[in-house]
Structure 1
């Protein structure tokens, strides 16, 4: 199996310690894997949200630095959420196994599924760097 490539419009690297990550994922197993990865990397998990409506509420509530968003949530595309995250200035990554083109979502990074902890770490470093520059 070929290693997934993490792509992003920016190559900036940022710190992970205490990075607050909003996770939007409707698959319980993937949410658990992300939670474990975030814990191992020293990040704080916010969520996870498993529906678009819950994710929109969490996005408005703040308390996070960056977001990792599954693009397909129970049959709904996360486009309203990604637009809102961009409006709020929160860096985010789109996690998708369906070939979703992250370039159509502003400055979104892309975390292709299936992913490994190294992939999560790479994308969070990019997002963390963006979060630092916006603060």
Structure 2
């Protein structure tokens, strides 16, 4: 799949593993995406959502043992699209958001850019 132009996106990265967050940010910046974050905790993510300034999010399901249900709920309430990133499989997703798109860890760079292309805001 060819990745469409992503330069109009600003992505909130919610990820507690610094190396994974940096890798995601590098991939996105290589495609001209503006990045916000990373948020490494639920509290930090909720503050970044409150501050705004992004139009889609990549959301790790588990942040240092803390589930991200509240973050997913807030993004959904704000109408902001998001894609889960997880190594826990579909059973690890918040019940209310099982229909949301998922990138399984470990993922490739193209998995991230393809997911953003498919699920970008309209």
TM-score by length of 2: 0.89
Task: Indicate the residue corresponding to 1:122 in structure 2.
Answer: 114
Task: Indicate the residue corresponding to 1:34 in structure 2.
Answer: 24
Task: Indicate the residue corresponding to 1:6 in structure 2.
Answer: none
Separation (CA, whole Å) in 1 of partners of 2:15 and 2:114: 19
TM-score by length of 1: 0.81
User: Runs of 4 or more off by more than 2 Å in structure 1?
Assistant: 100-104
Other structure's SS at 1:18 match: coil
Ranked by relative contact order (alpha carbons within 8 Å, sequence separation 6 or more), the top structure is: 1
Task: Indicate the residue corresponding to 2:41 in structure 1.
Answer: 51
Separation (CA, whole Å) in 1 of partners of 2:84 and 2:64: 15
Query: Which ranges in structure 2 are unaligned for 5 or more consecutive residues?
Result: none
Query: Which ranges in structure 1 are unaligned for 5 or more consecutive residues?
Result: 1-12
Count of aligned residue pairs for this structure pair: 118
For residues 88-103 of structure 1, what are the structure 2 equivalents within 5 Å?
88-101=78-91
Are the counterparts in 2 of residues 69 and 92 from structure 1 also a CA contact under 8 Å?
Answer: yes
Task: Indicate the residue corresponding to 2:104 in structure 1.
Answer: 112
